[in-house]
Amino acid sequence: MSAPLRTTTVGVPPAEIEIGEALARSLLAAQHPDLAHLPITLVASGWDNDMFRLGDDMAVRLPRRLAGVELIANEQRWLPTLPRLPLPIPAPLRLGVPGEGYPWPWSILPWMPGGPVDLDPLRADQAPVLAGFLKALHQPAPAEAPRNAHRGVPLADRLDYLTPRIARLAAETGFITPRIREVWERALVTPIDVEATWLHGDPHARNVLSQDGRLTAVIDWGDMCRGDRATDLSSLWMLLPDIAARHAAMAAYGASDATWARAAGWAVNYAVVLADSGRVNDPRLLAMGVKTFAMLEAGD
């Protein structure tokens, strides 16, 4: 699933192109005919992409709206260049181009084991595993690595986007408590004190996979970029089951107080957008936002 943090509308955006199994199979037949005989099934429609399972070991990922085109190009260009990581990531196996009436690039990926963490919550003992993955990822990125106006940036850059959402939640729900405001205001004034590194950029619970509570893979890298690692470290509030597990992950990762303050602010950012969008038309997103708010309320 691509990030619910770019659109200025409320709720999950509709598809701009309807992609069915027939279109996906036509693209395979035209461009990768050796794979066209394999069973193909739609398994997920995210904000920006549709995902099909192809046979037992592969997936087909196609943008469902124009916003996903840049993201899939980002994955195709940069995922194969990342440092070796301790969890599987879906670097493209083959590339697809426009055709059969479909206007955008697309990818064939390895099928990743497990299911989304929001449906299979992580065990507490996965805290150091998550921390180890993030630490391995957060390495210096080349100067030509992509920048992202929505990720890895100072949180103050997000104010125009987030302020109306925070105001709406404050007026219509009980999510925006004094504690949430305190965490947010502190993060806004905390300077970035670390060098820019590679980021996943969207590490919420539908982009991380697990099996029986054990981390198995990290998917959906369309927002990968060079920036402030606090963006990714917000995942400790989004993915882990309790404050003790988060503290264990924080200790295993090792970071400054300033970085943790910004990471908590990024967790507020995700909680606000997930809850505000999910209330409209996606109960799973709403539940993810509610969980993140609860983790933030649990304390530092």
Domain end point (choices 72, 96, 111): 111
Q: Are residues 103 and 138 in the same domain?
A: no
pLDDT band at residue 252 under the 50/70/90 scheme: very high
pLDDT tens readout for residues 266-276: 999 999 999 99
DSSP string, 249-273: HHHHH---HHHHHHHHHHHHHHHHH
Number of structural domains found in the chain: 2
Mean pLDDT of 61-72: 95
Q: Are residues 209 and 245 in the same domain?
A: yes
pLDDT at 13 over 90: no
pLDDT band at residue 153 under the 50/70/90 scheme: very high
Q: Are residues 211 and 224 in the same domain?
A: yes
Mean pLDDT of 229-244: 98
| 287 domain residue, yes or no | yes
79 vs 221: CA distance, rounded Å? 8
| 231 domain residue, yes or no | yes
- Name the maximum alpha-carbon separation found in the chain: 58
pLDDT tens readout for residues 278-298: 999 899 999 999 999 999 999
Could you list the residue range(s) of the whole structural domain that residue 121 is in? 116-297
Q: Are residues 97 and 161 in the same domain?
A: no
Report the Cα 18 to chain-centroid distance in Å.
23
Domain end point (choices 111, 134, 160): 111
| 8 domain residue, yes or no | no
pLDDT at 172 over 90: yes
Domain end point (choices 90, 111, 132): 111
Q: Are residues 127 and 82 in the same domain?
A: no
Q: Which residue type sits at 153?
A: V
Which pLDDT belongs to residue 58? Answer: 98
38 sits in the region (left: phi over 0; alpha: psi -120 to 50; else beta) called beta
Q: Are residues 91 and 188 in the same domain?
A: no
| 122 domain residue, yes or no | yes
CATH number of the domain residue 165 falls in? 3.90.1200.10
DSSP designation for 23 = H
pLDDT at 129 over 70: yes
For the chain, give the mean pLDDT. Answer: 95
pLDDT at 3 over 60: no
Mean pLDDT of 41-61: 94
Residue 188 vs residues 25, 50, 85, 170, 239: alpha-carbon distances, Å = 48, 35, 31, 18, 23
